[in-house]
A and B are shown apart, each in its own frame.
Chain A
Amino acid sequence: MWKWLHPYAKTERAYVLCNTLLPWFVVTAVLSLSIGTLWGLVFAPADYQQGDSFRIIYIHVPSALLSMSTYVAMAVAAAVGMIWQWRTAYMAMIAIAPVGAVMTFIALVTGAAWGKPMWGTWWVWDARLTSELILLFLYLGVMALYSAFDDKRQGGKAAGVMAIVGVVNIPIIHYSVEWWNTLHQGATITKFDKPSIAPEMLWPLLINLLGFAAFVGAVSLVRMRNEIIRREIHRPWVVLIAKQASK
């Protein structure tokens, strides 16, 4: 059933796949991010309550959503590596980790900047904010554990265990606004049948969401490519690429 997937366990095939996918991700990211951000920041109507300061939603919500889905992607890569014993999957995991950490950081910083005018404070210890902060620490833990090993194969396996253990935090973040009575507001765009946001505000948000996702994908692909080259530096096909590039 999963047979079509297995050739990509070879680093060479994975490298070629990265190269094929990369332009699509870059084009999607550039197009949607410029359209979505311009539409959101300039043309979308101002909020009747929050005025113009609501516009940070176009950065905050996509980065927060992506911080969680990137973590899941990282954990899935770790699980794939663990189940099928793929080295490439661990490379993907460690390529994704810093990207997700940056997304989490952006979500926290923009959230703080939004909280200052709206709640009157940069930071409150409510469930959503705390669990998002834990997510940042989980990313850092995975990266630190990986870099502590000299043997990167072993490091990948070890970091993979931590990545999978940390998945318990994801539902906690997602449901934190429902389980606890928090200062952070509930979900805005997950209710597809009747979103609690006007359509002219929603469209740029969705476009930016796509843009952020494509951006995360693009950066992860570039990092994955680099990781493959760095780890397989002695393989003939890598030497061949290097020779062609230096011509």
Chain B
Amino acid sequence: MRSGVYAAMFKREYTLAFRQKAELVQPLVFFVLVVSLFPLGVGPSPEILQRIGPGVIWVAAILSSLLGMERLFRDDFQNGWLEQLALTDASLAGLMAIKVFTHWLVSFVPLVIVSPLLALFLNLTEPMYWALLATLAIGTPLISLVGAIAVGLTMGLNRGGVLLALLLIPLFIPLLIFATSAIESAAMQLSYMPQLAILGALLLLAFAFTPFAISYAVRVSLN
């Protein structure tokens, strides 16, 4: 019966996300636009683009995730759905995990899908591209999980947007460092498994702890 609750939650989140297509597409367009600003800004020289490419893509991914992140709880908080969820006998942490998973599925998987295009824009080599894909696959769930804590805390505030960036960007710096260093190792034809292993460890840690932190944060905001 419990699994039925989670399945229903997933179905609801998924359906809702696809009925608000503009909100889904906008961060993605923002992501592509920011990345395509760089060749215009620093000049189209392929060597420079290849050098800065991994960092540019990752920074753009983090910034666009901040744009889309507020959507995670805002509507559900304002129309009272979250309060109803907190009152059910199903575990709030479990429900939040489903919610974050769906958010990741609809907002980050498209981002991973368009990344070949960006790799082409920035003249990344094929090993770099695979490393980029691997770091995005491991790193973006981490963004969703950790970001959801801060969104949960700030959703009751009117001016939450900038505050959200201030809270989250410092937390994402280690992620950025390991992800880009993995891609740089790939560019030099070295193994990038150590960096991937650290990212994977961070992700597992986040899987274990953040659902509880998110549900606590939501309860604080619901007061």
Contacts and interface: CB of A to CB of B under 8 A. Distances in A.
B173 A161 contact: no
Contacts, number: 56
A235 B167 CA distance: 34
Interface stretch (A16-24, A40-48, A60-68, A134-142): A134-142
B163 to A, nearest CB: 6
Interface in A129-153: 130, 134, 137-138, 140-141, 144-145, 148-149, 151
Contact of B163 (A144, A151, A154, A172): A144
A229 to B, nearest CB: 25
B171 A165 contact: yes
Interface in B205-223: 213, 216-217, 220-221, 223
A124 B220 CA distance: 39
A165 B149 contact: yes
A149 B155 CA distance: 11
Nearest to B198: A179
B171 A166 contact: yes
B167 A145 contact: yes
Interface in B41-72: none
Contacts of A145: 153-154, 163, 167
B170 A134 contact: yes
B149 A140 contact: no
B169 A162 contact: no
Given A145-B163, A154-B220, A154-B223, A161 B149 contact: yes
Contacts of A165: 146, 149, 171, 213
B174 interface: yes
A130 B213 contact: no
Nearest to A154: B223
Nearest to A149: B157
A157 interface: yes
Main secondary structure of the interface of A (DSSP, over half): helix
B138 interface: no
A158 B169 contact: no
B160 to A, nearest CB: 8
Contacts of A140: 166
B150 interface: yes
A148 B150 CA distance: 13
Contacts of B169: 137
Given A158-B153, A161-B153, A162-B150, A141 B166 contact: yes
A134 B149 contact: no
B2 interface: no
Contact of B159 (A138, A141, A148, A166): A148
Given A145-B154, A148-B154, A148-B163, A161 B170 contact: no
B167 A141 contact: yes
A141 B170 contact: yes
A158 B170 CA distance: 17
Contacts of A151: 223
Q: Pick the most buried of A130, A137, A158: most chain B CB atoms within 10 A of its CB.
A: A158
B167 A157 contact: no
Nearest to A82: B216
A148 B153 CA distance: 11
Contacts of B170: 134, 137-138, 141, 166
A94 B160 CA distance: 20
A223 B173 CA distance: 31
A109 to B, nearest CB: 19
A45 to B, nearest CB: 39
B220 A161 contact: yes
Given A137-B170, A144-B167, A157-B220, 9 more contacts: A82-B216, A140-B166, A141-B166, A148-B159, A161-B220, A162-B150, A162-B167, A165-B146, A166-B170
Interface of B: 146, 149-150, 153-154, 156-157, 159-160, 163, 166-167, 169-171, 173-174, 177, 213, 216-217, 220-221, 223
Interface of A: 82, 130, 134, 137-138, 140-141, 144-145, 148-149, 151, 154, 157-158, 161-162, 165-166, 172
Q: Which 5 A-B pairs have the closest CB atoms?
A: A137-B170, A158-B153, A141-B167, A157-B220, A134-B170
16 contacts: A134-B174, A137-B166, A137-B170, A141-B167, A144-B166, A145-B154, A145-B167, A154-B156, A154-B220, A158-B217, A158-B221, A161-B213, A161-B216, A162-B149, A165-B146, A166-B170
